[in-house]
Amino acid sequence: MSWLWSQRDTTWAHFLEGLIVFLVMLLLSRFVQPFSRNQLKRAHLDAAISLLASRLIYVAWMISAVIVFLSVWLSNLTFVLGSFGVFALAFGLAFQDILKNFLAGIFLLLERPFRIGDEIMVDGRTGIVEDVQFRTTTMRTMDGEEVLVPNSIVFSQTIVNRTRYPARQFALTVKVPADVRLDGLVQRVRERLASSADLAKDPPPYVGIQPSADGGVALEVRYWLDYRNHDPLAVQAALGEQIYQAIQAPPDTPARTPQVKRGLSTPP
């Protein structure tokens, strides 16, 4: 016991003291980020801002744990802070890509060109934003694949936010059989689309006949849909069935206006 007491001012003793403090702070770090996130949610802050702030608090906590460990071990706070600055500079030069992605992630959460849950297209990929980490942005594609895009690419390239506005334009092209008469076809399709409660009324759907690549004709339909309240695939399938019925329906016979023949009358 006396030997241990005599070793209290040695380097190894300071190292063990600093290590114990570091391990305690490391254990508490498991609760720092969830606690800070809950407190920020209670303040009714935006979800992206809360996520950014909680992660920055976690990073600051871990940096503080390292500084405390070195300060207790070396017993020289000034030297530790100076060495930490040199180390930070060397780290920034050696890991420029990591630092660039980290800063890009912070700017993405601050500027908010998209929100978690938005469907975006970036770097040739389209998916729903699941999370914005320090290094990557996680997206989920329509096929159920997980795509990790570096934040520097997301920040520097053009972003197409497909869910910023509630209505989106969709297009549908249908090949018209050669034996179908085109008289009144566009009008029949317009009437069927007008009766659909799913499509937006303003602007109204566009229906037109376009030449196809094989020399025939095709029916082009463009419509606006509130995709947040309607399933685009289900609506497209229903419209395809209605358009098919309109194509197969016989053309309406135009009403004939009765004509009165005028002749010369014989005077009485």
Tokens of 239: 């419209």
pLDDT in tens, 118-149: 889 998 889 999 988 878 899 999 888 999 99
Is 201 part of a structural domain of the chain?
yes
Map tokens 């006396």 to a residue.
2
Residues 28 and 57 in one domain: yes
**How many separate domains does the chain show?**
3
CA neighbor of 17 nearest in space, from 64, 68, 61, 62:
68
Q: What are the φ/ψ torsions at residue 223 (nearest 5 degrees)?
A: -145, 160
Q: Are residues 13 and 78 in the same domain?
A: yes
CA distance 41 to 46: 8
CA distance linking residue 154 with residue 148, whole number of Å: 10
Say if 254 falls within a structural domain: no
Q: Rounded distance, CA 158 to CA 141, Å?
A: 18
**Dist CA 193 CA 207 (whole Å):** 9
Higher pLDDT, 251 or 114: 114
- 3 domain residue, yes or no: no
* Structural domain for 234, as ranges: 167-248
Q: What is the pLDDT of residue 265?
A: 37
User: Model confidence over 25-53: pLDDT tens digits?
Assistant: 888 877 877 777 777 667 666 666 677 77
Residue 260 located in a structural domain: no
| Per-residue pLDDT at 148 | 93
Tokens, residue 154: 């997301």
Are 138 and 130 contacting, i.e. CB atoms less than 8 angstroms apart? yes
Instruction: With beta carbons less than 8 A apart as the criterion, state whether 137 and 129 touch.
Output: yes
One domain for residues 154 and 179: no
Distance of alpha carbon 130 from alpha carbon 138, whole angstroms: 5
